[in-house]
Structure 1
Amino acid sequence: MSYPVVSIGIGSYNNAAYLETLLDSVQAQTYPAIELIVVDDCSTDHSALLVQRWMERTNYPVTFLQHERNQGLVRTFSDCTRLATGSFVSLVGSDDVLDPELIARTVAEFNRRGPSCGAVYADCRLIDSQGKEIAPSFLCYFNSGAAKSPPEGNIILPLLRGFYLPTLTTTVRREALAAVGPHDETLFSEDLDMWLRISRKFQFAYLPAVLGSYRVHDRSAVHTNKLALNETYFRIYRKGYFEGDAEWKAARHNLAEHAEHYYASQGPEAPARLWFALHETRRPKVALFWLMARLGVKYSTLRRLMSR
């Protein structure tokens, strides 16, 4: 029996403490046709050496690329995609863990849905730095009500309304990647931009199962790069590829939220970001935030005053 190849790309950067656990979870996949790609983004810990030793110890085939200088997450995953030859592509952070049945069940779901399905995603649990479970469901933890009925088909509106897709359990059809073009390497984080572009042309499918572990620790991007993640949405918004009143309404609401978060995080360009958001949304609250930012009033101080 012939199985379509699934390319698993690992973007590695300074996660030596967790990387071997992930590599072992790839090797433990029950699906028989996996192409493993690891791109190390010039780690300063022993991540690269760990990968090389793991390859020697297990004899598991790996396409291994090391960047000579740090180039960022999006370029790292872009290289993973460029090196991938499989019919499906899965991109995984180097601190996460895959359940053994993830790829097998995902491919089965692609086969069930047919060629119009461009991406399949499943749920995952949250774990801490020691591997202890924090929450049983990523979708419930990050998406509250949406987790009761995870979106399928065209998911542009849910994404613009703040729906978070677990990247480690999301696999994309190669034809979908080819249709929407390469990763935008000007962005800090590629996830949302890619999901929006794919959803314009292909259907998303939800696989109702918990099939991985998303690790949260003090070096997670959600903790260390809040301002860069915020900038990503501003850049996506400026692309202006939304369609119809509902999409633009959701996009503008999201823009106002990101402008507020940027101000709350004491971003150095808060007045400019808030002014842009005000021009786009015409919201009184954004006008207030812009004025206070111009006057040098901290967000925390303003919130205290507003709560009295």
Structure 2
Amino acid sequence: MTSPLVSIICLCYNHAAFLHEALDSVLAQTYPHLEVLVVDDLSTDNSVEIIEKYVRRHPQIRFLKHKRNLGNCASFNEALQLSQGDFIIDFATDDVLHPERVARQVAAFQQLPASYGVVYTDAELIDEQGASLGFFYTRSAEGSLTPLPAQGEVFSEVLGRYFICPPTMMMRRQVLEELHGYDPSLAYEDFDFWVRSSRYWQYHFLDRPLCQRRMHPRSLSRQVYQKGDKQLASTVKVIQKAQKLVRTPREKEALQARIRYEARHAYLTANYSEATQLLRLLEEEQGMTLTYRFLQVLTQKKVPLQFIRRWYHRWKYGHTAA
């Protein structure tokens, strides 16, 4: 069986503190047929200096240095167009790859039908200093996982809940080409990619922690559901796309559940404009209940009940929500 080329697209923005560990993990892959592209999106720290040192030592690395900040989605698309791999990894350079990451995911793809477009895995979560924070999936004594991974046809699942750790994905190139890459008008890519790709492609879960995901205050994931969160506007756009893709009653229910979830969080973080839009979408989907009618009134009057979310997080997680 031939070994396909894998392109690792490394996206950097002010990751100087993590770059050495990230790029070393890419270069330490046991899989031999790799193409490495690094994009610096106009970092203001010394990321470029670090990357240039790596390029001098490892001339096989292709370096794209931006003169203006384009954002993650456009940066990824630029590198995707220049890449040639049959499979693609979108790698943020504050994360770390397990040495067997590429080899195991390629092996999984080679055992799957051609209808599978994504293989994703578990991940270890680490802090800024690299200390372990546990794993993305919580495991019971019996071995069951929370959140429960989904496989095969996962469209309704990605609409209704969050169960994929984004940096663990390996994507078939054909999927990205059919989608014309990421949507550069969005502030983030994962939910949009899941919705658009899972409508036509199947997903496979490989139960191994094959990367470390860095959790720190500057990461995009830590900026979600805060007052002024620009990613919520992108979520509204993705839900509007999903409306056009829904086919079954189960998918419609999953979409309603997603809209309710996003509307609650938008309201409870004082993002009233996005909450208003989301509740309007819920009306379009005939998913309004008395509770959400009441939430609509609270949103219109901008009644500040953010303390409820802070109280809930303190009760459930032992800390205060941002």
So what's the TM-score if we normalise by structure 1? 0.90
Shift of residue 202 of structure 1? Answer: 1.9
Could you say which residue in structure 2 is the equivalent of 1:229? 231
The answer to whether the aligner puts 1:273 opposite 2:277 as a matched pair is: yes
Structure with more helix by fraction: 1
Shift of 1:82: 1.7
Runs of 4+ displaced beyond 6 Å:
302-305
Question: What's the counterpart of residue 47 of structure 1?
Answer: 47
Residue 260 (str. 1) matches residue 264 (str. 2): yes
How far 1:114 sits from its partner (Å)?
3.2
Counterparts of 1:25 and 1:60, CA distance in 2:
17
Change (3 A) 1:269 1:30: same
Judge conservation of contact 2:77–2:181 (CA < 8 Å) in 1: yes
How many correspondences in the alignment?
Answer: 302
Secondary structure of 1:269's aligned partner = helix
Structure 2: which amino acid aligns with 1:299? L
**Contact 1:271/1:294 (8 A) holds in 2:** no
For the Cα contact (< 8 Å) 1:42–1:68, is it kept in 2?
A: yes
Q: CA deviation at 1:271?
A: 5.5
Corresponding residue of 1:282? 288
Match in the other structure for 1:209: 208
2:80 is aligned to: 81
1:33 aligns with 2:33: yes
Q: Percent of pairs identical after alignment?
A: 32
* Cα deviations by residue, 1:103-148 (Å, 9 ceiling, x for unpaired): 001111111113222111111110000000001x21339xxx7647
Query: What SS does structure 2 have at the residue aligned with 1:122?
Result: strand
Name the residue aligned to 1:300: 306
| Alignment-mate amino acid for residue 239 of structure 2 | Y
> Per the alignment, in what secondary structure is the counterpart of residue 118 of structure 2?
strand
1:81: how far off? 1.7
**Runs of 5+ consecutive residues of structure 2 not aligned to the other structure:** 312-322
After superposition, the CA RMSD in angstroms is 2.4
Does the 8 A contact of 1:153 with 1:199 survive in 2? Answer: no
Distance across 2 between alignment mates of 1:217 and 1:302 = 24
The alignment's TM-score, normalised by the length of structure 2, stands at 0.87
Contact 1:256 1:277 in 2 (8 A): no
- CA distance, structure 2, for counterparts of residue 295 and residue 184 of structure 1: 33
Matched ranges for 1:1-308 at <5 A:
2-56=2-56, 58-135=57-134, 137-140=135-138, 147=146, 149-226=148-225, 227-239=229-241, 240=243, 241-270=245-274, 272-280=276-284, 281-300=287-306
Tell me if structure 1 keeps the 8 A contact 2:262–2:278: no
Tell me the secondary structure at the aligned position of residue 113 of structure 1: coil
* CA distance, structure 1, for counterparts of residue 113 and residue 215 of structure 2: 34
Q: Give ranges in structure 1 of 5+ residues lacking alignment.
A: none
CA distance in 2, matches of 1:15, 1:231: 26
**C-alpha displacement at 1:303, in angstroms?**
7.0
Distance 1:219 1:178, change over 3 A: same
Query: 8 Å contact 2:270–2:306 — kept in the other structure?
Result: no
C-alpha displacement of 1:235:
0.6
Instruction: Note closer, same or farther for the CA distance 1:105–1:294 as it changes in structure 2 (3 Å cut).
Output: same
- Tell me which amino acid in the other structure corresponds to 1:139: Y
Shift of 1:238: 1.0
Given that 2:85 and 2:173 are in contact with CA atoms closer than 8 Å, whether structure 1 keeps it comes out as yes
Q: Structure 1 pair 275/167, CA: closer, same or farther in 2 (3 Å)?
A: closer
Q: Which moved more, 1:205-214 or 1:125-134?
A: 205-214
Instruction: Please report how far the alpha carbon of residue 49 of structure 1 lies from its aligned counterpart in structure 2 after TM superposition.
Output: 1.4
| 91-100 or 66-75: bigger deviation | 66-75
Deviation of 1:94 (Å): 1.6
